[in-house]
Amino acid sequence: MRAGGRAWASYVLAVRRDGGDRVSALALLEQQLGLLSFEALERASSDIKRWRALGYGLLTLTDPDYPANLRVVENRPPLLFVAGRLLEADRHAVAVIGTRSPTEAGCELARQIAAALARAGLTVVSGLAAGIDAEVHRAVLSLTLPQRPRTLAVLGNGLRHVYPPDHAELQAQVARAGALVSQFWPEAPPSATTFPARNLVMSGLTLGSVIVEASERSGTRIQARHALSQGRLVVLMRPAVTTEWAAALAQQPGVVVADDPADVVSAFGH
């Protein structure tokens, strides 16, 4: 969060809670941080209006639409930016993740898992990265079901950026079919620190995470660790249990090894 971001977040919380009453917002800020200038408050208000004009929603912890699964997680972000729409049904969500350099067999397995979860009525979440993530989103988007399947993408950058750049159309499709979610300011670019941070949010949004394929240095290891600390299920696909870290992970409580998409759906109670 940029300089002054803590103050800005406090202002947003106060305004959202008290219906935009400036006196109440100022009183809260003065109590917490010392009185802010009128100009600083005006800049914050201008930021919110500009982002709304771009179609970005802003959720705070005091907002009833803040995701219920994430709300109970320690270190949850105080602000979420959303393009698209989050629904109550999205509390029944499962993350499907994996390496950016998958095998063709891994891609096919990811597509099958995503489709099976969507057909079971679950929201399918991934990170819009190259490789497994992209295959997951595309599989859900390609389905024709009586009830439109939902997919959410949790980004490691602000909503105004596309990463990787060739995923611009995919990012737009996910926003139309579900939602893009980011804890970062809309103008924030991707970085080495933002992607590990987004894994905490992705695992917190969901009932659990499915790991399709992952290397020894894959970011999926971070998400698996977060999921277990949050009390969420981790499902390791059998082909992923080929590395030393995955074999060790498979022995931990809260981790299930699955052989096929039917096993994955069963693991989440559908």
**What DSSP line would sit under 154-212, residue for residue?**
E-SS-TT--SSGGGHHHHHHHHHHSEEEESS-TTPPP-TTHHHHHHHHHHHHSSEEEE-
Q: Find the length of the chain.
A: 270
229 CB-near residues (< 8 Å, 6+ apart): none
- Distance of CA 118 to CAs 90, 92, 246, Å? 11, 11, 26
Average pLDDT over residues 103-108: 96
Closest CA to 114 of 150, 70, 162, 83: 150
Measure Cα distances from 202 to 7, 79, 151, 196, 199 in Å. 26, 14, 12, 10, 5
Which range among 27-36, 157-166, 239-248 shows the weakest confidence by mean pLDDT? 27-36
Buried b (16+ CB within 10 A) or exposed e, 203-234: bbbbbbbbbbbbbeebbbbbbbbbbbebebbb
Question: In a 3-state reduction of DSSP, which class is residue 57?
Answer: strand
Quick check: 176 pLDDT over 90?
yes
Q: Give tens-digit pLDDT for 25-71.
A: 455 545 555 545 666 677 778 888 898 999 999 998 889 999 999 99
Q: Which residues contact 69 (CB under 8 A, 6 or more apart)?
A: 91, 93, 204, 205, 206, 207
Residue of 239 and 170 predicted with greater confidence:
170
Contact 123, 140 (CB under 8 A): no
DSSP classification of residue 35: P
As a whole number of angstroms, the distance between CA 248 and CA 221 comes to: 11
- List Cβ neighbours of 11 (8 Å cut-off, separation of 6 or more): 25, 29, 36, 41, 44
DSSP conformation letters of 7-28: HHHHHHHHHHHHTT-HHHHHHH
Please state the rounded mean pLDDT for residues 206-224. 90
Residue-level pLDDT at 9? 52
CA distances from 241 to 27, 213, 214, 247 (A): 55, 8, 9, 5
Give the mean model confidence (pLDDT) for residues 95-105.
Answer: 95
Structure confidence at residue 194 (pLDDT): 93
Q: How far is CA 160 from its chain centroid?
A: 16
Find out whether 116 and 262 touch, Cβ atoms under 8 Å.
yes
Separation CA 125–CA 114 (nearest Å): 9
Cβ contact 29:36 at 8 Å: yes
93: β partners: 123
Predicted confidence band of residue 17 (pLDDT cuts 50, 70, 90):
very low
Residue 20 in this model has a pLDDT that exceeds 60: no
Distance in angstroms (rounded) separating the CA atoms of residues 101 and 106: 9
Note the pLDDT of residue 23: 43
Residue 212: pLDDT band with limits 50, 70, 90: very high
pLDDT of residue 188: 94
